[in-house]
Amino acid sequence: MNSMNSIPELEAKARALRAEAFGAMVAGAAQSLAALPKKAIAAIGQWAAQRKAYEELMSLDDRQLRDMGLSRSEIPAVVAGNLMPDSFPNEVAPLAGETANANERPQAKLRRVA
């Protein structure tokens, strides 16, 4: 292996490996660039959906928000996905000893999800 012929062979192998690594790097960069428009469109779609949800929640009055277990100050965090009510009951049953028209209900507990 110490012959003079092996040095040019090693240099050729090194060039081939370097070219292969460079090609893999360029291919990875091309794939990332190709995926960029799709990711941008998805991010814009998500932003639009969050903006719509924010506007819809902000259009509710305080009583409707309280019925859902939210306060107006929690809307940005809920829309961003940072807070999530423990449950959104489909039907609210009266608490023991109160009439069906009682307006004071305990607020739902929120939990941090992120």
Please give the share of the chain, as a percent, with pLDDT higher than 90: 51
Residue 104 has pLDDT above 80, yes or no: no
Q: Considering the domain boundaries, does residue 114 fall inside one?
A: yes
- Are 91 and 69 in contact by the 8 Å Cβ rule? The answer is no
Please report, as a single letter, which amino acid is at residue 102.
Answer: A
Radius of gyration over alpha carbons of the chain, in Å?
A: 30
Expressed as residue numbers, the domain containing 35 is: 1-46
> pLDDT digit string (tens) for 43-62?
999 999 999 999 999 999 99
Residue 91 has pLDDT above 60, yes or no: no
Mark whether 13 and 41 lie in a shared domain.
yes
pLDDT of residue 31: 92
CA angle 56, 59, 60 (to 5 degrees): 100
Domain count, the chain: 2
Please compute, for residue 39, the number of CA atoms within 13 A of its CA located in the half-sphere on the CB side: 6
Element (H, E) at 60: none
Mark whether 75 and 28 lie in a shared domain.
no
pLDDT of residue 53: 93
Q: Considering the domain boundaries, does residue 94 fall inside one?
A: no
